[in-house]
Amino acid sequence: MGDVTGGRRELRKAQTRAEIRAAAHRLFAERGFDAVTTADVAAAADVAVQTVFNHFESKEALFFDGRIPSLSGPAEAIASCPPGTSPLTALRRQVEQDISALLAREASPERRSYVEAMVATPHLQERGRMLMVEALELATEALNTALSGGAPATPRVRLFSRLTVEMFFNASRVLAVEHRRTGLAEGWTAAGQAAAQDAVTATLAVLEDGARQLAGRLGVPVD
C-alpha cells in the first residue's frame, strides 16, 4: 500500500512540476522573461508561490527546464560506452546528438521567444554558462575515470580530459550562439538548418581528430 501511495505522490509532484513549467513558459513567451514574476507563474499554475520554489530554485531554472540537454548526458555516455568504443568517441557522439537536437528545437516557431530572451538577457546567458560548467565538470571526471580504468588519474590524463571536454563544450556553445544569431537575423530555413548541422558534424569530427593527436603527444591511451 505504501508503494502505491508513494507512487501516486510522485506522480502528483511530477504533474505539478509540469504544470508550473508550462505556465511559466507560456508567460515568458507572451510577456518576456523580465516582465514575469514568480507570483505570476504561481497564479497562472494555480499554486502557491512556495510550491513553485519547492520545484524550481529560481525563475532562471524555470526558464531552462525542459529546454536544454541533460547535464549528465555526456558523462553518462562516457561511463556507459560499450566495449570497443573509445570514451572519446562516446563523448563526441553525445555532444553532437545534444547540440543537434538543441539547434533543431530552437528553429521551431514556438521557440522564437526563448531564443530572443537568451540573446537579450545577460543573466540568462550567465545561467546557461553555469549549467554548461556543471555538465563540463561531470564529463571531465567521467573521462578521467574512463581513461584511468578506475585508478587515480595521472596529471597528464587530467590535463587531457580537461582540455578535451573544454574544446567540445566551448565549440558547442559557439555553434549554438551563432545559430541563434543567424536564425533571428535571417530566419530558420531548411538550408540554414542543414548548414548548421554540417557545421556541427564537421567541427566535432575535427575536434575528435585533434584530441587523438593530443592524446598521442601526451602519451594518454584513448582506445
Q: Which domain holds residue 21?
A: 2-59
6, pLDDT greater than 70: no
Q: What is the dihedral of CA 17, 23, 29, 30, to 10 degrees?
A: -170
Does 223 fall in a domain? no
The pLDDT tens digits of the residues spanning 148-206 come to 987 899 999 999 999 999 999 999 999 988 888 888 888 888 888 899 999 999 999 99
Does 67 fall in a domain? no
pTM of the model: 0.83
Q: Does residue 201 share a domain with residue 173?
A: yes
Residue with the three cell numbers 508550473: 20
Q: Does residue 78 share a domain with residue 29?
A: no
CATH number of the domain bearing residue 41? 1.10.10.60
Q: Does residue 116 share a domain with residue 150?
A: yes
The pLDDT tens digits of the residues spanning 23-58 come to 998 898 888 888 999 999 999 999 999 999 999 988
Model pLDDT, residue 8? 83
5 confidence band (pLDDT: 50, 70, 90):
low
**What total of structural domains would you count in the chain?**
2
Average of pLDDT values for 86-100? 95
